[in-house]
Amino acid sequence: MPPHMGKLKDLQTFGGEFVLSKDVGGNIDELKGFQHLSGNLHISGLQNITRAEDALEAKLRDKKLSEIRLKWEGDTIDSENDSRVLGNLQPNTNLKVLAIQGYGGTKFPGWLGDESFSNLVTLRLETCGYCFSLPALGQLPSLKRLEIDGLNGVESVGSEFYGGIKPAFKSLEFLSFCSMREWQEWCFPGGGHFPNLCELSLGNCPKLTGKIPLDYFPRLERLSLQNVKIVYFVGGGVLLAPNLWSVPEDLQISLPSLQSLSIEGCKEFKSFPEESKFPSLKNLKIKECPEFVGFPHGGGLQAPNLKTMQIKECNKFRSLPEEMHASLPSLQCLSIEGCKEFVGFPHGGGLQAPNLKMMQINECNKFRSLPEEMQISLPSLSSLYIWDSPELESFPEGGLPSKLRYLIIWCCKKLMANRMRWGLQTLTSLKFLDVSFSGCEEEEIVESFPEEGLLPITLTSLGISHHPNLKTIDGKALRHIISLEELYICYCPQLQSLPDEGLPTSLSFLHITGSDLLTQRCQRDTGEDWPKISHIPNVRINDRKI
């Protein structure tokens, strides 16, 4: 910091970090002069305070600040000194936001959690790796958001966390525990705690075991579990256990208030119980759970208000059970990505999701079948995206839903080989089509595209990419698409020229990239194909406007 900062006696706000260094001018006692300071104060370099008594000179108790951030950097040299420094940095009780980062003491001072801090709304404790216990925070009357991250010395969260026998955390709405490597146990004494908690997040707590009673949080709406030892949901809670043998067989679960559930990187998570009732659930995400086999047969997952479902990188997930096909009346978005064993919607199953608007299937190597009778079972589907599904051969009998507007097909070699059977001409709502020939056998791909009769006349945007043999664009096939406004041609190295008939006069945007032979012919004024595109207002070749 510049020297003699403390002489700014009338300073009212300080926007940056007040950096303490070993050099002259970075002394903590400079803050004493800021008698009228208010608003936010961020102090870093606290490890450079060698005499804990100097921290008293900051006189934080006399400053009516609304937000304070205290930061230690590097590994601690003197843990006891850090403890005394933080004790002497006690702020004014008007404080609303407090963040402590990199603190090297073994415990937190008594003032942290004192009921006199009645205005404190947000508290964040980060990378305080030498602390062996959490402060007693449960009696802070206004605390709404609590984030605890990287306290690797904590092994147990017990009754001291609640701050006494009275109901604790009355105002808390958000609670997050993250990167607690040694945390093994979370105790839940009595009842009446967390009456207003809406969101709970547990992440990277690999040793945490036992039962987390979710009915302990009567208003819980959002639950996120990431890289924890979750094996099963049990009645009224989540069981965190080191092996499957500790899981009861006759399980039921009902979480009436839960609206969002995210399970990510939980290596042992397999499924939900037979009776899983989530009457308010709107968003479900399951990601990187290699043992997840799917939803239970029988009752399935009862989530009548579910709007978004994402299942990603779950290698043992094969399909949705038939019982679930008719239980998703509110589903609007379905995304299944990177599930190597996912085969589709078998057993003649039609996914009954009348409000489904978007379906995405990506990198599912064994995916073979879309839901049957999509016209009837998915009448609202407007967007269908399929990537890297080489075993999918055709669309279901009866064709795609009539309201489909966006269709993307990438790296689906068998489906591309049968493209003349797609029946796109009947899709009067289709506006956007993007196809990629990546992964297709070169000898099976014709040199001209698109074929006559393939595309509907309603298209406004067409994308063609990764076609190894494409030499010409079929002008006759494009001529009848009188509404075409955008044409994208990407990575077609053999494409030599544009059609002699020219491109549709309705085009307003042409993008060509990765097609060197065509690029030379489309150069402004000098290229042989320039007259064919000169009428198009916006032309970009290799991301450069010409």
25 — pLDDT class (breaks 50, 70, 90) = very low
Vertex 393 angle, CA 325 and 441, to 5°? 145
- pLDDT score recorded for residue 535: 84
Q: How far is CA 514 from CA 165, 450, 493, in A?
A: 69, 19, 7
Q: Would the pLDDT of 370 be above 80?
A: yes
Which residue did the predictor score with more confidence, 441 or 192? 192
Residues across the chain: 546
Domain ranges in the chain? 299-404, 417-545
Please give the average per-residue pLDDT across 443-460, as a whole number. Answer: 83
User: pLDDT by residue (tens digit) across 303-360?
Assistant: 889 999 999 999 999 988 776 656 688 999 999 999 999 998 865 556 788 999 999 9
Which residue did the predictor score with more confidence, 190 or 286? 286
pLDDT averaged over every residue in the chain: 87
Please give the average per-residue pLDDT across 451-463, as a whole number. Answer: 91
- pLDDT score recorded for residue 26: 53
- pLDDT score recorded for residue 76: 84
Q: Would the pLDDT of 503 be above 70?
A: yes
* Amino acid at the residue 128: C
Over pLDDT 70: what percentage of the chain? 91
Q: Would the pLDDT of 50 be above 80?
A: yes
- pLDDT score recorded for residue 347: 55
- pLDDT score recorded for residue 243: 43
Which residue did the predictor score with more confidence, 296 or 258? 258
Which residue did the predictor score with more confidence, 415 or 518? 415
Q: Would the pLDDT of 231 be above 60?
A: no
Q: Which candidate, 311, 261, 271, 319, places its Cα nearest to that of 288?
A: 311
Q: How far is CA 85 from CA 47, 62, 153, in A?
A: 9, 17, 20
Q: What is the DSSP letter of 484?
A: -
- pLDDT score recorded for residue 324: 65
Please give the average per-residue pLDDT across 113-138, as a whole number. Answer: 95
The helix or strand, by DSSP H or E, that contains position 489, with its residue range, turns out to be strand 486-490
Q: What is the dihedral of CA 385, 390, 395, 400, to 10 degrees?
A: 10
- pLDDT score recorded for residue 191: 78
Q: Which candidate, 436, 429, 384, 442, places its Cα nearest to that of 415?
A: 436
User: pLDDT by residue (tens digit) across 140-164?
Assistant: 999 999 999 999 999 999 999 998 8
Which residue did the predictor score with more confidence, 204 or 520? 204
Q: 């029988």: which residue's tokens?
A: 298
SS3 480: coil
- pLDDT score recorded for residue 250: 47
Give per-residue burial for 506-539: e unless 16+ CB within 10 Å, then b.
ebeebbbbebeebbebbeeeebebbebbeebeeb
252 — pLDDT class (breaks 50, 70, 90) = low
CB 188, CB 216: distance < 8 Å: yes
Q: Which candidate, 275, 271, 310, places its Cα nearest to that of 293?
A: 271
The helix or strand, by DSSP H or E, that contains position 125, with its residue range, turns out to be strand 122-126
Q: Which candidate, 180, 177, 179, 246, places its Cα nearest to that of 210?
A: 246
- pLDDT score recorded for residue 246: 35
299-404: CATH class = alpha beta
The C-alpha atoms of residue 286 and residue 147 are separated, in whole angstroms, by 23
Residues whose CB falls within 8 Å of the CB of residue 442, separated by 6 or more in sequence, listed in order: 468, 469
Please give the average per-residue pLDDT across 474-500, as a whole number. Answer: 87
Radius of gyration, CA atoms only, the chain: 31
237 — pLDDT class (breaks 50, 70, 90) = low
The C-alpha atoms of residue 148 and residue 126 are separated, in whole angstroms, by 6
Please give the average per-residue pLDDT across 56-67, as a whole number. Answer: 90
Q: Specify which of 71-85, 86-100, 428-442, 470-484 reaches the highest per-range mean pLDDT.
A: 86-100
Q: What is the DSSP letter of 451?
A: P
Please give the average per-residue pLDDT across 44-61, as a whole number. Answer: 90
- pLDDT score recorded for residue 372: 85
Tokens of 346: 């078998």
- φ/ψ (deg, to 5) at 123: -135, 130
- pLDDT score recorded for residue 244: 39
- pLDDT score recorded for residue 480: 85
- φ/ψ (deg, to 5) at 318: -110, -40
Q: Would the pLDDT of 197 be above 90?
A: yes
